[in-house]
Structure 1
Amino acid sequence: MKKIIYKGLIMAISVGAISSCTTEDLDPTLAQNKSVEQSVNNVGNLFSILKGVHSLMSESGYYGQDVIITNEVRSDNTFSIGNSGRYTTESQYLYNNNTDLIWNNAYEVIANANIIINANLENLEGDVDYGAHVQGQATAIRALAHFDLLREYGQQHTGSGNLGVPIVTEYKGDNLFPARNTIEEVKAAIYSDLEMAYSMMDSQYDDSKVYISKLGVKALESRVAVYFGDWTRARDAAEIVVNSGEYSVISADSYVDSWQGDGGVNVIFELAASQVDNAGINGLAYMYQINADGSGYGDVVARPEVLGIYEDSDVRLGILDTSGDWIRNTGKYPDNVNFTNNIPLIRFEEVVLNYAEALMETGGDALTQLNKLPANRGASLYAAATKDNILLERRRELIFEGFRFDDQLRTGMTMEAVGTDGMIMETIDYPSYLFAWPIPLSEMNANSNMVQNDGY
């Protein structure tokens, strides 16, 4: 963890300096032994570090590829054919502790966020109110990173143990080798951060969807609450977003094309991508697609039964290419040439589905919310809002975005390990140690307080 935290600071400074700060703005000795409070001089410095945080999140070791693809190939949506040898062990549930998955990247994000969160605004030049908003954004991102770590490494679906992940709230704290907190402690910390973020942020500063907004915090809270089955909290958080009037479900005739643009009416929070960034072979598009010129790995393909979850009239079939030997996603994250498609992390459609499920669990009008999706997708409306119908609609709408694995686990489904030929290698009953990723070997070797998950 010590290495992760220090590396995070260096990344924050380098990205921030390149983004907008001059050498007069941001002291280059910040990565050494000087205190953060003395080195961050103005509110602009905080925003520069926040930009660095988002850059880290878009890397292939986090939302740029790993967290999304890994959670797709372990679900009943997709598997890896091993065209480039990638994601086969995940698809087959044969992974081990030699890989860190998102561990290092997520803790780098947290380290950078903590620099922003713990800065003393009273000592900074600039708009203090805007500084508080930026601190709120960083607090929300810290919550998201802890949530991502918990759902990947926590023991909540293993059938034994109550360990989550270490909660890190200081950049240079006294405890450089933290132990794992419990699942409940991590959950409480996530909720606390989301509540704090919402109270600190001012919507007048929400001028770009590539940074989390005040409403985005509530959208994220609804996601977390659905995952944990905290239905009243999920309902109340989603209701604020749905009733805000700021977003809408993308229409049927715009659905496929909407993935080619950025900042649509349904996008709440997305990570920016540009030709300069050029994710290339490490991007989502390369994992899903093979172009006519042969570019793209196309490792991740849909399982054949995916076609059966859609009606012929459903516009969501338009994101699938069925012309070859495999069913491929060519509609979501489609730019496999310049790699300029932003990565939506929170769409309004997800929040509507969160709201529908929470209403169903608390006795509200879930059907009205659920039917907002098929009504805008050329599909038949549902006659009832059941758990199965809601999970089906989530699968239809959120496929290839990394949600299905969590949906299956939180509802106790049996999982299947799939080989590169598409054949089922093993059926894995819930719960299982395989549903928690192993703590990386590098972390185990460096931190004597770390406890490995069972089975590794």
Structure 2
Amino acid sequence: MKNIKHIYKILTVATLLFTIGSCTTEDLDPSLEQNKSVEDGINSINNISGLMLGAYEYLTESGYYGRDYIITNEVRTDNCFSNGNSGRFTTEASFAYNANTGYFYDEAYEAIAIANVIIAQDITALATDTSELEEGYHIQGQAYALRALVHFDLLKQYGQMNTGGTLGIAYVTEYKGEDLYPSRSTYSENVTAIMADLQTAFDMMSDDYYDSTKITMSKYSAKAIESRVAIYFEMWDDAISASEAVINSGLYSMVSSANYVSSWSAGSQQNSIFELAYTSSDNLSSNSLGFIYRLGDSGSYGDVQVLDEVIDIFEEGDVRADILGYEGTLLRNLYKYPDINGSDNVPVIRYEEIILNYAEALYESTGGGLSELNSLRTNRGLAGLTTITKDAIIDERRKELMFEGFRFDDLMRTGQDIEKTSLQQNFTSTISYGDYRLAYPIPQNDIDTNANMVQNEGY
């Protein structure tokens, strides 16, 4: 594991300029030996545009949204388990990880580092005309939104909200800042910083730069992320206003029932708010989601299997059940991220999540939300409910967002135990809410090299 200084890596001008041409993760990967600051190589709006694409690349890596972040949040729940076919994810699924296990910590702070480079730029000095000025501010807005999203992802996994502590994560806002050994803020301080970054992002981004491909963040991506953050921390009024901003934008809609399954093999759908791009030539291959979710005919890993009883939670006629299927007798996720080699885009934020967030916030705030919840149910081929409950909302979220990495977060934010419901699950008994294992350990190398870094309890 790389040490905390990895957050503040330095790029050479040559690397920067080459990045702008190709924008691959490898080209952006900096090292401490390089001795030319990235800021010295930025002289145009085109430069920061290239860097922004590079920041997105870090999110696509297998350690992050490309696989591990999603899978780890599924195998630690009542959705999936690791069958050990290739030995992958049994440690995570057993809650047996330690400070040397590794996770997405490095990729996350690498993305944050690039976002901070972009945020630090004087756009007025880089822009040559009004159009470039607006574009530059829009790119900086994306950087603020990405910084907020990534810190939020880190907070959910490493923060102590669900283990009885108060610590969050190190919220890094400067590239190569004076504090090379940051300490952890409280999780409440993290939430304040995240929400502030999202508001700044929304204010800076322009409707004129709406990305119809959905592979970069647009103005309402910031509000969608805000909706997600607010739901997690029970900020119901914020969740309502953020959700309404996305809904009222008119830019997004639910994918139809008829196209629900096929939509997962086609990018830039009407329900996508932000997604990560992969292609047949730029994919994760054996490290992809498809490779770990199913066996297929190409010798893929197929370690992550669906618990047998999961098929029973779907009502008759629910098109979401069609995502499931069998390989022999093994229940599988067959059609979310269907390409076995990972050339499908990975949606990070979908419109359906916003509808669910809105319904929950309305329920918690006023007792409402029934029509919003039913709008999703009827779209998926089901009859509407006559009454709404918290359990009904969480159950609907499970069915809609299954295999996308939401289940662990939903159990945590609602204070639920990780129940042992099946012999197939890798852990031996129910894990009570508050157990130290519900917060991931800070990587040991960061503990060893940063005297200000405090480890989570139990590790």
How far the C-alpha of 1:180 sits from its partner, in A, is 0.7
How far the C-alpha of 1:256 sits from its partner, in A, is 0.5
Amino acid at match of 1:237: A
Q: Which runs of 5+ in 2 are unaligned?
A: none
Name the structure 1 match of 2:314: 310
**Contact 1:416–1:425, Cα closer than 8 Å, also in 2:** no
Amino acid at match of 1:449: N
Give the match's secondary structure for 1:150. helix
Q: Distance in 2 between matches of 1:56 and 1:222?
A: 23
Matches within 5 A, 1:186-335: 186-207=190-211, 208-291=213-296, 293-335=297-339
**Contact 2:240–2:362, Cα closer than 8 Å, also in 1:** yes
Q: Distance in 2 between matches of 1:141 and 1:333?
A: 23
RMSD of aligned residue pairs (Cα, Å): 2.3
Q: Distance in 2 between matches of 1:8 and 1:280?
A: 29
Q: Distance in 2 between matches of 1:20 and 1:86?
A: 30
Give the match's secondary structure for 2:140. helix
**Contact 2:16–2:41, Cα closer than 8 Å, also in 1:** no
* 1:123-171: CA deviation from partner (whole Å, max 9, x where unpaired): 2144011000000001100000100110000000002x21111011111
Change in CA separation of 1:423 and 1:7 when aligned onto 2, cut-off 3 Å = closer
Give the match's secondary structure for 2:430. strand
Is 1:175 paired with 2:172?
no
Amino acid at match of 2:245: I
Name the structure 1 match of 2:120: 118
Give the match's secondary structure for 2:259. helix
Match of 2:359 among 356, 361, 386: 356
Q: Distance in 1 between matches of 2:151 and 2:178?
A: 20
Is 1:342 paired with 2:345?
yes
Q: Which runs of 5+ in 1 are unaligned?
A: none
Amino acid at match of 2:54: G
Match of 2:80 among 45, 54, 78: 78
Q: Distance in 1 between matches of 2:23 and 2:436?
A: 45
TM-score norm. by structure 2 comes to 0.93
* 1:74-119: CA deviation from partner (whole Å, max 9, x where unpaired): 1111111111111111111111110231111100010010010111
How far the C-alpha of 1:6 sits from its partner, in A, is 4.0
Q: Distance in 1 between matches of 2:10 and 2:317?
A: 48
Give the match's secondary structure for 1:372. helix
How far the C-alpha of 1:400 sits from its partner, in A, is 0.1
How far the C-alpha of 1:306 sits from its partner, in A, is 1.1
How far the C-alpha of 1:307 sits from its partner, in A, is 1.0
Name the structure 1 match of 2:150: 145
**Contact 1:314–1:379, Cα closer than 8 Å, also in 2:** yes
Change in CA separation of 1:420 and 1:68 when aligned onto 2, cut-off 3 Å = farther
Q: Distance in 2 between matches of 1:341 and 1:420?
A: 32
Q: Which segment drifts farther, 28-37 or 144-153? A: 28-37
Change in CA separation of 1:250 and 1:136 when aligned onto 2, cut-off 3 Å = same
> How many aligned positions are there?
448
Change in CA separation of 1:422 and 1:8 when aligned onto 2, cut-off 3 Å = farther
Name the structure 2 match of 1:377: 380
Q: Distance in 2 between matches of 1:420 and 1:451?
A: 36
Q: Distance in 1 between matches of 2:327 and 2:102?
A: 36
* 1:328-386: CA deviation from partner (whole Å, max 9, x where unpaired): 0011000114x321000000000000000001111164011101111111122211121
Match of 2:101 among 92, 99, 110: 99
Amino acid at match of 2:104: I
**Contact 2:306–2:331, Cα closer than 8 Å, also in 1:** yes
Name the structure 2 match of 1:133: 138
Match of 1:162 among 162, 166, 176: 166
Of all paired residues, the percent bearing the same amino acid is 49
Give the match's secondary structure for 2:349. strand
